[in-house]
A and B are shown apart, each in its own frame.
Chain A
Amino acid sequence: MKVTIKSWNGVATWRWLANDDTCGICRLAFDGCCPDCRIPGDECPLVWGQCSHCFHIHCIMKWLNSQQVSQQCPMCRQEWKFRE
């Protein structure tokens, strides 16, 4: 071998892989954070339902907690289940 690699350091960026640009509840960008947070990123993550809609976790939790009867997706009214 003429040349061997001892080590390397990769650099990558990540962004949310959402089907929309903005959260359906707070209408703020997924790249940003929900209205209650100050810093986007791991502190204010997104969650997906089995219906494939996604929201800021803080937004959907607020929504679900306000529903007394049944837990529905605010977009399609299907029963809300978190997608693993």
Chain B
Amino acid sequence: MSLKPKRVDFQETWLELKETVNAVITLGNVPRSTWNDRFTDVYSLCVAYPEPLADKLYLETRKFLDFHVKALLEKVKSSGDNNLLRTYYYAWTEYSQGINYLHRLYSYLNQQHIKKQKLSEAEIIYGNITPGDDEQMEIGELGLEIWKVDMIEPLESKLVKLLLEGIHQDRIGESQSSSSEIIKGVIHSFVGVQEYRKKDKLQLYKQIFEAPFLETTGEYYRREASKYLQECNVSQYMEKVTLRLNEESLRCHHFLHCSSYNAVRAKCEEEMVAGHLQFLHSECEAMVTEERKNDLKNMYPLLHAVHGGLSFLVNHVMLHIRQQGLNAVTDHYGENMHIQFVESMLSVHKKYKQLIQDVFQSDQAFMSALDKACSYVINHRPNSKMPCRSPELLAKYCDSLLKKSSKGLSESEIDDKLSNSITIFKYIDDKDVFQKFYSRMLARRLIHQQSQSMDAEEAMINRLKQACGYEFTNKLHRMFTDISVSNDLNNKFSTFLKHDNIDLGINFSIYVLQAGAWPLGQANITSFTLPQELVKSVQMFENFYHNHFSGRKLTWLHHLCQGELKLCYLKKPYIVTMQVFQMAILLLFETTNSLVCSELQSTLQLNSDQFNKYITSLVDCKLLLSSSESITADTTLTLNMEYSNKRTRLRITTAMQKESPQELEQTVTAVDEDRKLYLQAAIVRIMKSRKILRHNALIQEVLSQSKAFAPAISMIKKCIEALIDKQYIERTPNSSDEYSYVA
């Protein structure tokens, strides 16, 4: 067989071809040899000599298909309304497959003749050129187009009406399973018939089916919703709606094209949820306060889908958590207040976090509501004149866990509790106040060797560092290093003593601390005559220290020193740990059994405040007996020779080791001073970089920089005034609320 163009008789070839085309389109039996021959015929026609007959072939084929589809239409119409969908569906299945085969039979025509004159894909999608009416289409496309024009368009209204009816039957549960396949097939034929298109593939489907479908769906569910409204309360309503939504989306997946899923769901939600928001919201408050988990679980997805539906619920959840939190943290008094406060707040937080996870799928909006509520509760001040106590209570809580005495808790339990306390810490506004309290308590633990374990201390500091940054824990770290540096120093000192053959007569160790890093006020320093027994060790150490470190000045903090004393004058020997001041007092009784207060005080040179405090502590623990109820200058103190205690090792605590109200006040004022300095530094930094700034802009920048606390606007204003006085900044001459930096 030759591929050379030759003279072809069109009529004759077409008659033969037409027969095969008919067989192909009706899925009849076409032997392979016939197929091959006809394939070649298409080729010969296209390349015929003297002129190609491709256009003629195209026209004839179109005429044939037109005729064929019109005949099918008559057949479908004549089957009657009841069978319309079924016959249409069968005709479509046959035709769509047949046209697919036919397309292949005409491959040569499609490839060589038609493709060449078509617009390219890019031209159609990006250009504004639309294919003209007379443009030739590939045979497959042509067939589908003819189907659309000759079959779908005349039947459109009837088909759609029947489809909608069929789906309605399905909704009310009266459909036969056989018809559902047909409905699905017919709907998809609207998509299939335009699938070849490069642009607007779904145009027909959307126009003739989706739009009316959405409308009837909306109407149907509007009616359903109003029916439910009359017979149900909110929680039943939600259950029904959830059920219907799920059913409808299943139905969608079954019948419709995937592009419609979201539109249908949105339509249903609009009718059943958005239209009745007020009804749903009316129960929100009760649901939240009673914590009806099931109802809330149903409510969440419904409201979530509707724009602006959720915020109402979120708000109620926040108010509820806030109320529960306030209930949990107020009304704690006494010794264990800090433990109750922290643990009940933690349990509230844990409970609602869990609830949000379970019920609201950890939705971000609810999480931030939880945060808002917790931070409100934790920073709540019952009395606006009093500072918020949370930072202090939390610091105390940590202190009670890190101290030696925490009862019966295993290391891992303590560790857990400490890491939980960070949750509360993050909500605290006045983190600097917490830091002040924490560092005071840490200092006390370190100096009096009361820490449970150094590892736990360090882990806690690291947690704070993680939560609040390096600056925040800087001083705490320095305190820590001082203790270990001091250990080295003690070792060096004892080698020094050994080397020089010096005997101090007593065991001596020391903490040398950096003055700036420790929260040790100068307020408690008092004059004091050191007992003779201790003088040597102090002198030797000072010698040693100045040899090692030149240019440093040591200040002894005797009120923080403590020692171990052996009492030999009683029936059995006791070993007592006490403050150095108390030691000094007891040492004076060496030569006598009773002394008058004024005498004692003049020997010791202590100020009367401190003196009274330490005398009282010794009287309280019954080592000394006092001649009068309160301690005055004339009171005579006598050694209690009858003292006895079950334990032979004991520790005398004094008021010193507990936080006094004055100290509390000091802490608050110290924090205030620090804040002022911090704010002034921040203002100078900002002004230095900006040169000129308006008042409000400056305030905003300062607010955004202070992370450790929320400064009061009035305080910022005062700091600005102070800086103007100090001539760091000045008001600009032409504007009243603008400042400029003075270099």
Contact = CB atoms under 8 A, between A and B. Distances in A.
Interface of A: 1-18, 31-32, 38-42, 46, 48, 54, 83
B712 to A, nearest CB: 28
A13 B478 contact: no
B557 interface: yes
B590 A1 contact: yes
Interface string B545-581: 1000111111111101111111111000001000010
Contact of A7 (B447, B470, B507, B556): B507
B533 A5 contact: yes
Contacts of B508: 7-10
Nearest to B560: A11
Interface string B580-622: 1001001101100000000000000000000000000000000
Given A12-B554, A12-B555, A18-B551, A5 B568 contact: no
Name B's interface SS: mixed
Contact of B506 (A7, A11, A13): A7
A39 B470 CA distance: 11
Contact of B537 (A10, A13, A15, A17): A10
A9 B550 CA distance: 23
A2 B590 contact: yes
Contacts of B550: 48, 83
Interface stretch (B64-72, B169-177, B332-340, B513-521): B513-521
A16 B516 CA distance: 11
B472 interface: no
Contacts of B713: none
Name A's interface SS: strand
Contacts of B406: none
Given A2-B569, A6-B564, A12 B557 contact: yes
18 contacts: A3-B565, A6-B563, A6-B566, A6-B575, A8-B562, A9-B449, A9-B561, A10-B537, A12-B510, A14-B513, A14-B554, A15-B516, A15-B552, A16-B553, A31-B516, A38-B470, A39-B478, A40-B514
A10 B506 CA distance: 12
Contacts of B515: 13-15, 31
B216 interface: no
Given A1-B590, A17-B553, A39 B563 contact: no
Contacts of B352: none
A16 B114 CA distance: 96
B119 interface: no
Contacts of A39: 474, 477-478
Contacts of B537: 8, 10
Interface in B104-127: none
A10 B509 CA distance: 6
Q: Could you say which of A12, A32, A39 has the most chain B C-beta atoms within 10 Å of its C-beta?
A: A12
Interface string B513-532: 11111101000000000000
A16 to B, nearest CB: 6
B300 interface: no
B551 A9 contact: no
Given A10-B556, A40-B478, A40-B514, 5 more contacts: A2-B567, A7-B506, A11-B556, A12-B556, A39-B477
B650 interface: no
B207 to A, nearest CB: 71
B300 to A, nearest CB: 48
A14 B563 CA distance: 21
Contacts of B541: 10
A12 B512 contact: yes
Given A13-B518, A13-B557, A15-B553, A4 B509 contact: no
B563 A13 contact: no
A14 to B, nearest CB: 5
Contacts of B211: none
A50 B545 CA distance: 21
B742 interface: no
Interface of B: 447, 449, 470, 474, 477-478, 481-482, 485, 506-518, 520, 533-534, 537-538, 541, 545, 549-558, 560-569, 575, 580, 583, 586-587, 589-590, 639
| Complex A-B, nearest 3 residue pairs according to Cβ-Cβ distance, in ascending order | A8-B563, A7-B507, A11-B560
B339 to A, nearest CB: 30
B557 A11 contact: yes
B680 to A, nearest CB: 15
Contacts of B520: 13
Given A14-B512, A15-B515, A6 B561 contact: no
A44 to B, nearest CB: 11
A5 B575 CA distance: 10
Nearest to A17: B553
Contacts of A3: 565-569, 586-587, 589-590
A10 B564 contact: no
Contacts of B575: 6
Contacts of A12: 510-513, 554-557
Given A6-B563, A40-B516, A14 B552 contact: yes
Contacts of B533: 5
A5 B517 contact: no
B557 A8 contact: no
A27 to B, nearest CB: 14
Contact of B566 (A4, A10, A32, A41): A4
Contacts of A1: 568, 590
B447 A10 contact: no
A56 to B, nearest CB: 12
A18 B553 CA distance: 9
B553 A14 contact: yes
A54 B552 CA distance: 12
Nearest to B557: A11
Contact of B562 (A2, A4, A9): A9
A18 B589 CA distance: 42
A17 to B, nearest CB: 4
A7 B580 CA distance: 11
B514 A5 contact: no
Contact of A8 (B449, B482, B517, B564): B564
A3 B558 CA distance: 20
Contact of B511 (A4, A10, A16, A17): A10
Q: Could you say which of A11, A31, A54 has the most chain B C-beta atoms within 10 Å of its C-beta?
A: A11
A12 B493 CA distance: 15
Contacts of B564: 5-8
Contacts of B556: 10-12
Contact of B563 (A2, A7, A15): A7
A8 B511 CA distance: 11
Contacts of A7: 506-509, 563-564
A43 to B, nearest CB: 9
A14 B507 CA distance: 22
Nearest to B591: A2
B516 A32 contact: yes
A14 B555 contact: yes
A5 B534 contact: yes
Contact of B551 (A10, A11, A54): A54
B215 to A, nearest CB: 70
B513 A13 contact: yes
Nearest to B508: A8
A17 B551 contact: yes
Given A3-B587, A3-B590, A13-B518, A8 B553 contact: no
B282 to A, nearest CB: 59
